[in-house]
Amino acid sequence: MVATRIRIIFAVLFLLAGCTYKDIPKAFFDCKSTTLAVTLVSKLDPTSCLAIDGSITVSATGGFTPYAFSINNGDYQSDGAFVNLGQGSYTLYAKDANNCEKWIQVDIKAPASTLDVTVATTSDNQCLTDNGSITLTGTGGTPPYTYQFGSGQAGAQNTFSNLKPGPYTFTIRDSAPPPSCIKTVNVVVKRGDTGASFATDIKPILDKSCAISGCHNGDNGGSRNWEVFTNVQSNASNIEMRTANKSMPPAGSVAALTQTQIKVIACWVEDGAKNN
């Protein structure tokens, strides 16, 4: 009987430890407040509409060093110089030591080339699905035009749907006698407001999995009481980060959050953590 009671006591202490010691917020940086900035240093236009001898150089300031740089969402490198570029629109990214990112868009154009493209986008405002879209319309050069999405097959289709937020690369080619002209275009689909509701979507998750005895019900300090909206709002970025990496709620304290619940929390936070 005594041994059984001891085991029960240790089990209770283990669960409480999971919500006190393990659930202490870890150091994190909210990139919404970063001072990181990326700046164009120089650019060189390609010598013709088929040449790939253009270049772009960018630099970074603010944030926390060291910096890394990327073009069109490619691999990061330690310097901001990018060479062997054809005519087109490029998105240049800078990332700092806190993994915060900033980007700018830079165009380089071949001399005498009239090939161009207009771009229309719609933001992705869905949480659990994606509904962003991009429509490209070729101009100049010699129509008709073909459009290539990434490394896919080129064709006449110029509208691309069901896209999530982020950068996308397209290649447009005109119908001039070979060699016809090409142009690269990098387009960013923005994130729209998903309408995730605190009252309907977020509070039920917190009430069931977080605002429980020994955890975020005030037992560990009033500022960590998730029953108070202002506390949740001020800790929204940390809640998003820790639910995403599955360190909150702690393993063994309650049932793990589903991927849908994790996604909805992220949507609400990225919508601005509103009291809605």
**What span, in angstroms and rounded, lies between the C-alpha atoms of 212 and 219?**
9
Please report the pLDDT score of residue 19 as a whole number: 53
More reliable by pLDDT, 33 or 38 = 38
Which stretch, 24-28, 177-181, 230-234, has highest mean pLDDT?
Answer: 230-234
> Domains along the chain?
2-31+194-270 (no CATH), 34-112 (2.60.40.1080), 114-192 (2.60.40)
- The H or E element containing residue 35 is none
Q: What is the mean pLDDT of the chain?
A: 88
User: What contacts 250, CB < 8 A, 6 or more positions away?
Assistant: 18, 19, 22, 23
State the pTM of this model.
Answer: 0.79
Q: State the average pLDDT over residues 229-240.
A: 93
The pLDDT value given to residue 258: 95
Euclidean distance between CA atoms 117 and 135, whole angstroms: 10
- pLDDT band at 243; cut points 50, 70, 90: very high
Nearest CA to 207 out of 221, 236, 222, 228 is that of 228
- The mean pLDDT of 41-56, rounded to a whole number, is 96
Judging by beta carbons within 10 Å of its beta carbon (0-12, 13-18, 19+), is residue 274 exposed, middle or buried? middle
Average pLDDT over residues 28-53: 91
In angstroms, the CA 138 to CA 149 distance is 14
Amino acid sitting at position 42? S
Q: pLDDT tens-digit profile of 89-112?
A: 999 999 999 999 999 999 999 998
